[in-house]
Structure 1
């Protein structure tokens, strides 16, 4: 996906998140984030938006801590979220393509990284807000979902922080059945190594439509279909949380 497409997705997902949060109310439980209420979701996502904005707008070339969670609630919290989301969209939309700032996953440029990361951050938490509102969360586009799976598997879980590891070498395959996208995840005592490839044997395969796979790999939904050794799917559930 292009950076402009990620920015457009970020804009739409943030607006949907705010609408769902307002309709659910700050006290509503977030079933996809145990222990959280909607106010926690708004505080967290709004903080992340401001944190990301600062890197691009201020050109920080090294890690900077976030500004912490606001002591706001109700209408004030919702307004604060909307202001931060709008500032992030505007910052990314107007930043020069060659802006130099810190990022933490491989990408064609820092701007491409932040647009992609914040689009997916916001989409997952939009799903959370809609789950808190009750009813069926809105659909996620197939290509956007496949892009999010790729970011998760080849970005987050290629890092040394990933806890998805196995004493014995194992192979997990992830297949989006409504696209041509297939990933082979090689597990060992080291961080996972993932390739966009569907050849060779796999010990376990997780498959389903891209949008469903996307949310299940982010531990928001059950896996659509698991074949082979289901202990690898359980391993993912137990150890894949990103903090």
Structure 2
């Protein structure tokens, strides 16, 4: 996956989908979130990433522009942020070191991938709010997005937040011939790719779907009826609830 090209394309699609749309339109998959706030949030996210890179650490409150200035169009705020972060990421190889919030990956490649998926998910939100058909992504992008939400958000972000599950459980995530095992419980959460398919039989439950459907389901954008589930439904419910906390 060329994350930089995905980011560039998705940022433009998001902007085009938002043009002329009332900002108060709600995002169907995210009650309480509207189109205008989604556009602003993405623009703020681009600036947060730039400050992480510039400062070499997590920026504190007030160290990045979180909101458009008075009279600044929120869509332009988002587009100028996209242009700035694309220019910064293009100027560096993906393996070049820089500060990130994931200890496992301290390089520009982290921000390329993270912002590509951030923009893609919120582009879908904007299209849903606008009443448009949600445009697809390639299987490659969706499968990478599945891996990212499981390993980065479930496997790392929950630990940073200090959030734990109530019971030990293993859930397999299956997308085509790709398999992940997720472990949730009182001792934390983790997720990893399954090398030997036989290992998947250790799980208490399994969730299967096409790449695009699984990508959206894991991000809380689709209901359970859109995926195929077998096994312990409580284990799946715990995974779902923890993902919602991780990606909030």
Fold in common (TM above 0.5): yes
Q: Does 1:238 align with 2:244?
A: no
Structure 2: where are the runs of 5+ without partners? none
Report how far residue 55 of structure 1 moved. 2.7
- Corresponding residue for residue 148 of structure 2: 151
Quote the RMSD (CA, aligned, Å). 2.1
Report how far residue 205 of structure 1 moved. 0.7
- More moved, 188-197 vs 97-106: 97-106
Report how far residue 203 of structure 1 moved. 1.0
Q: Does 1:61 align with 2:73?
A: no
Report how far residue 108 of structure 1 moved. 5.1
- Corresponding residue for residue 25 of structure 2: 28
8 Å CA contact retained: 1:162, 1:240:
no
- Corresponding residue for residue 174 of structure 1: 173
The alignment of Structure 1 onto Structure 2 pairs a total of residues equal to: 235
* Cα pair distance change 1:155/1:106, threshold 3 Å: farther
Partner deviation per Cα, 1:200-231 (whole Å, 9 max, x = no partner): 32111110101110110000012311111112
Equivalent of 2:131 in 131, 134, 138: 134
8 Å CA contact retained: 2:184, 2:239:
no
Q: Does 1:101 align with 2:98?
A: yes
Q: Does 1:85 align with 2:86?
A: no
8 Å CA contact retained: 1:51, 1:67:
yes
Partner deviation per Cα, 1:30-69 (whole Å, 9 max, x = no partner): 112211221110111100011112333x2x2221136253
Partner deviation per Cα, 1:71-125 (whole Å, 9 max, x = no partner): 5699811111111111111110112555443212255541011101010111110
- Corresponding residue for residue 232 of structure 2: 229
CA distance, structure 1, for counterparts of residue 6 and residue 102 of structure 2: 19
Structure 1: where are the runs of 5+ without partners? none
TM-score, normalising length: structure 1: 0.88
Report how far residue 146 of structure 1 moved. 0.9
